[in-house]
Structure 1
Amino acid sequence: MAFVIGLVLGLGIVALGGGWLLGRWQVRRELVRTHQRAEEIIEAARHEAEALKAAKLAEVEKAFKAREEELERRIKRQEEKLERLEVRLLKKEERLEQKGIELVRAEKSLKDDLQRLNELIAQGEALLAGERKRLEELSGLSAEQVKELLIQQVEEEAERFFAKKIRQVKERVEAEAEREARKIIATVIQRYAADEVESTTMSHVPLPNEEYKGRVIGKEGRNIRAFEALTGVEVLVDDTPDAISLSCFHPVRREIARLAMEKLLEDGRIHPAQIKKQVDKAKERIAQRIKEEGQKALFELGIDTMHPALVELVGRLSFRTSYGQNQLRHSLEVAYLAGALAAELGLDAHMQKLAKRAGLLHDIGKVVDHKVEGSHSLISAEMARRYGEPEEVVHAIAAHNEEVEARTLLAVILQTADALSAARPGARQETFEAYVQRLQALEEICHSFPGVEEAYAIQAGREVRVMVRPEEVDDDMAAKLSYDIARCIEEKMQYPGEIKVHVIRETKFVETAK
């Protein structure tokens, strides 16, 4: 029994030892395998890294080589360009050297020629001096005396001859010119006949009934004051029954006031805001009418094209008078007469058209803004030049009042046509023009002061209302301004009675409630 137990124990020990040895051997074998696999992985990674390194080096070398080739090509192109420039410079240097040689030769030749010329001049002067001395000895007179005697004889003979010829030609030309001028002017005047309507300084607007006079005046006169301030026109309510009279020497302002008043009476709502609205609308209508009048004038004369600014100035002439003569009708008359004179003188169609253009535009300076200084002839010429009119037309306009010397036939034609239109019986009234000029001078004096926005002469020039910009003129300055304007009027103008100067400074404050 003990033997069996011992045997079993021995076998158990042997089995345990064998198992332990077997396990240890297997572990060692697994470690060997793991080590081998690790070495294989490391080797594979090393090979892959070397391959990637080689590929990257190859790529870098390729890019570097391409860049190197590109730089070489650029350098080569620059070298070729420099070579070409060098060749051109060498050729230029050769040409300059050749020109320098030619200049030296030319200079030497010129010096030789000058030397020979000086020698010839000296020889000629010596011969001339000798001959002069011999002549003085033979005649007993000096050279200066002989020269003066000959000159005097020639001058006297020439004066007698030319005086006779000039007198004969002058008599013949004057006779022929007077005959032709009478014929041409008679022909032109017979071909043109124009009606002339006398302009006034008063417009009348009929009232639906007498009640409207109170509406026009407004509470404490606010409506009539607003209307007069916006239009620059004097409103006379009590002068004419069932009508309101509008008095102003300025035709455009008077017509704007008439249109605005008619619309106000037609609408029935009369208050400062409505008055401003209707005045603005009337100004737009007048601007459109001015444009239409200008286009109509061009159509009547057969003028195809003209700058829009000039067309507007021509249209403004319809609201302007000069010595009682409507300025647009006068300009149309002058244009027609100038064209007819050009035709009678045998000028071509182009010159006839230029004559008409000059006639139509010769007085546009009268309607240019008062801030432009100068006579109306020169202002008209400057406007024509500024807006592209031919120089012949510009010169004729500038010379039509003889402020510039007439150098062309077109200028003389325009002077003649203007004189014919002005001299026609009944065409002009001196008294009305003097009155208008006095009122314009009164407004211009007011505009000459800083801060003045508008100035309106009313009451036939016995009163002037001056509207100032409130941001430039305060109340104290307004009082001083009225004094300064009154003193300036006293110094520069002559007038009967007295002139009241009203300086109006209006301020408005607007705020929005949110």
Structure 2
Amino acid sequence: MDETIIYLTVGVVALLVGIVIGRILLKKAFNQEEKKVAEKAELLMKEAKISAENIKKNKILEAKEKFLKLKAEFEEEANRKKNQIISNENKLKQREQNFSKQMEGLRRKEAEFESSTENLNAQIEIINKRKEEMEKVKKQQISMLEKISNLTADEARDQLVETLKEEAQTKASSHIKEIMEEARLSATKEAKKIVIQTIQRTATEHAIENCVSVFNIESDDIKGKIIGREGRNIRALESATGVEIIVDDTPEAIIISGFDPVRREVARLALHRLVTDGRIHPARIEEVVAKTTKNIEEEIVELGERTVIDLGIHGLHPELIKLVGRMRFRSSYGQNLLHHSKEVAKLCSAMAAELGLNAKLAKRAGLLHDIGKVWPEEQELPHAILGMELAKKYKEHGDVCNAVGAHHDEIEMTNLISPIVQACDAISGSRPGARREVMDSYIKRLKELENLALGFDGVNKCYAIQAGRELRVLVDAENVSDEQAGMLSFDISQKIEKDMQYPGQIKITVIREMRAVNFAK
């Protein structure tokens, strides 16, 4: 037990000694660490001071540089304004000098003007004096002339005026003729050039149609089938197509007569199908005519579309395209209307291009100018006005509508395309071989032309020759002089232009023949 106490005592003592030693060691380590932290803090403080000094120096340098830069800019701006002020002062001095010179010049001119005014006044006084002297001399001369001629001044003046009037009329007639010839040559030169170029670039086709179509058959035996028992087949065909079927003694031919060319074409194609099929009876006829009518309508639309594509016309209303196709089955004075309209469209396009106008609008107006002729419904309006109404209805351009309505002068022209369409319509319709006129109306026009010329004084005889293209006028040589013959030709041409309607132009030739007759006895 004593040993245990000893051991415990030694252990406690050792523990206390260990604790004391540990505290001493711990305090020593803590002091060393504190010393290191203090040294590190002192080092950081030194580095911070050095960095702050560097930043301070850099900021001071930047401030100095900015100050110097601002100072330089200020000095530069001040110098520039100073130079500008100096320049403005120099300009003002120069203007003052110029103004002074101008004032001196004005004073000098004013002095010259006053001097010129004085000279003019002096000259006016001299002229007035001379004028008074001339008046006195003139009165003396007139008095002497009146004594010599036994005529007063007014009577002599009247005689002189009459003499000069007759001479002036003669000279004026000759002068007018020369002016007209020169104007005609110069005015028509470019127009002829344009028309020739237009026609040269336009290929035309000619077709003459009338109100009769001929359907050829292989044998006359078919005529009996077409007529049918008691004529029921032919009556059914006439009723379905609206045309007259003429079956006579003409060998291997059947005549289809009708005013509407579309109906004639339907009848011709229906007959062809019936004859080819061989089954000809009323029910079959109605069926074939209905199918043929539908095919013709489709063909009309296709033909219209092909026409506008060939002409390069876009955006045309479907109803107008259909009417264009119907032109193929319409003729005017023997001239196919579609060929005529295509020809007019090409002429209008070429002529408008030559004149610097809108060629597309001109071509459109040329194609549609006779659209009123193929409207299927009966109308009391002229075809030009009806065509204009149709063009307006289907939203055509205003210039196109006016050109369609004005190509026969039924309304006033409001643009330059309208006279082009009118001129090209005349070119296409009046060229040789384009149209056939009724003989009675043709002869009537020639007689009217001759009677118009016979109504002028001094005209003995008058002859319309070359199909009405030339008018030869024979005048009385004793009553009509050469100068008066020229004026007569001009007056007749103006009268024809005013009172008559005619295609193309008419040449007026006045013939004055002087005959001297004597007899030897």
TM-score, length of structure 1 as denominator length: 0.49
Whose Rg is larger? 2
TM-score, length of structure 2 as denominator length: 0.48
